[in-house]
Chain A
């Protein structure tokens, strides 16, 4: 079972600063976007894949945590073959895979707290302009990373519940219950965040949760 997106370890990537890792994703992502050469995309995908699969986790776990994204990329690739050309579909699929592997490697080697602090720091200028609250965006991102494994756990739970009742499990059928479970979780987590005074402002509304 996936319990955390962070993978304990002391690899080269673990030792790098979160800001540098995020900058790397940005630079690589932009560079790949502006080149249409398949060879470049293929090399990038192989290198990013090698980095991701060399992290201290089993190949099975590495694939499991990316399964939904890989499926989505596969579907997108098929649609692109139909809409564009096999060549263009291959380029965009390789590009997506490279960025996904790199992002997954960065996620797996960066503690959530470090992520949150970095995102909050990066967004400070926008806060000064009054556009956003940087700490809120950092917290939101942290919560997504922290509780994503819980969504996986709910999914597995639904699968087991179907099996226990002898009902064939169809992933599409799980979307509704999964959303309900996730929303219930979100409600409870929001309560906990308020109760712990994690966010600064507090203004409860009548008879309702803040």
Chain B
């Protein structure tokens, strides 16, 4: 993984979401923490090209997120806070196939890839299930499978264990830890990122700390006052 931010900033009308910064990310597991509204999600969306920098550039594995937007979407998959809104088709299998076909695969190949993706996360049984019938953890795993099926090098998670019970949290955390892909994880669940390679702390639109998990978490606690 090679993500480079050069003099990058993001402004929404008059609100500065991210102040200018330059950064290189290359570690396999990167955590992002910070208070609500500190710029974490905007930062993550910059990587996937979902938000365009107001100034500067962002490249993902050498691809510019603006000029090569389509290729960046193939290189970096995004798993949103609410997986139910990410799964577009009513059935899990149907949804994964739909996503793969949108990436140019034929029906037969897409079905084979979808089955492989479900098997990879141990959720073959979810294939024929309806999205509305799934529990929070199942939804999250289905969303991860649907994104991972398209073969991105990097997976970006926006609060993946938010609102999950302990059992489902464990399933999702185990799945994230087992990923061969690089992962960038926004999380308020601090134990999830404790063994990551690097953790960035965001505060009021700035990266105020960048280091190993223990030091970053300590800094975050200081900001949060607890």
**Residues of A at under 8 Å CB distance from B?**
3-4, 6, 111-113, 142-143, 146, 149, 185, 188-189, 191-200, 202-210
- B82: chain A residues at CB < 8 Å are 188
With A3-B132, A113-B94, A206-B52 known as contacts, the answer to whether A200 contacts B77 (CB < 8 A) is no
| B212 proximal to A (CB < 8 A) | no
Taken together as a complex, chains A and B put the C-alpha atoms of A49 and B98 apart, in Å, by 33
- B102: chain A residues at CB < 8 Å are 196-199
- A208: chain B residues at CB < 8 Å are 12, 51-52
Q: Are A204 and B49 in contact (CB under 8 A)?
A: yes
Q: Are B90 and A192 in contact (CB under 8 A)?
A: no
| B221 proximal to A (CB < 8 A) | no
Main secondary structure of the interface of B (DSSP, over half): mixed
**Residues of B at under 8 Å CB distance from A?**
10-12, 17, 45, 48-54, 65-66, 69-70, 73-74, 77-78, 80, 82, 85-86, 88-90, 94, 97-99, 102-103, 130, 132-133, 146-147, 150
Identify 20 new A-B residue pairs, CB closer than 8 A, beyond the known A146-B90, A207-B52, A210-B49.
A3-B133, A4-B90, A111-B90, A111-B94, A142-B88, A191-B80, A192-B78, A192-B88, A193-B88, A196-B86, A196-B146, A197-B70, A203-B66, A204-B51, A204-B69, A206-B11, A206-B52, A207-B51, A208-B12, A209-B50
Select which of B10, B11, B49, B147 is within 8 A of A196 by beta carbon.
B147
Q: Are A188 and B53 in contact (CB under 8 A)?
A: no
Could you jot down 12 A-B contacts, CB within 8 Å?
A: A112-B94, A113-B89, A191-B80, A195-B86, A196-B77, A196-B150, A197-B99, A204-B49, A206-B52, A207-B52, A208-B52, A209-B50
Q: Are B130 and A3 in contact (CB under 8 A)?
A: yes
With A113-B94, A192-B85, A208-B12 known as contacts, the answer to whether A197 contacts B103 (CB < 8 A) is yes
Select which of A4, A191, A192, A202 is within 8 A of B70 by beta carbon.
A202
- B50: chain A residues at CB < 8 Å are 191, 194-195, 204, 209-210
Taken together as a complex, chains A and B put the C-alpha atoms of A94 and B220 apart, in Å, by 65
- A207: chain B residues at CB < 8 Å are 10-12, 17, 51-54
Taken together as a complex, chains A and B put the C-alpha atoms of A205 and B77 apart, in Å, by 20
Q: Are A209 and B51 in contact (CB under 8 A)?
A: yes
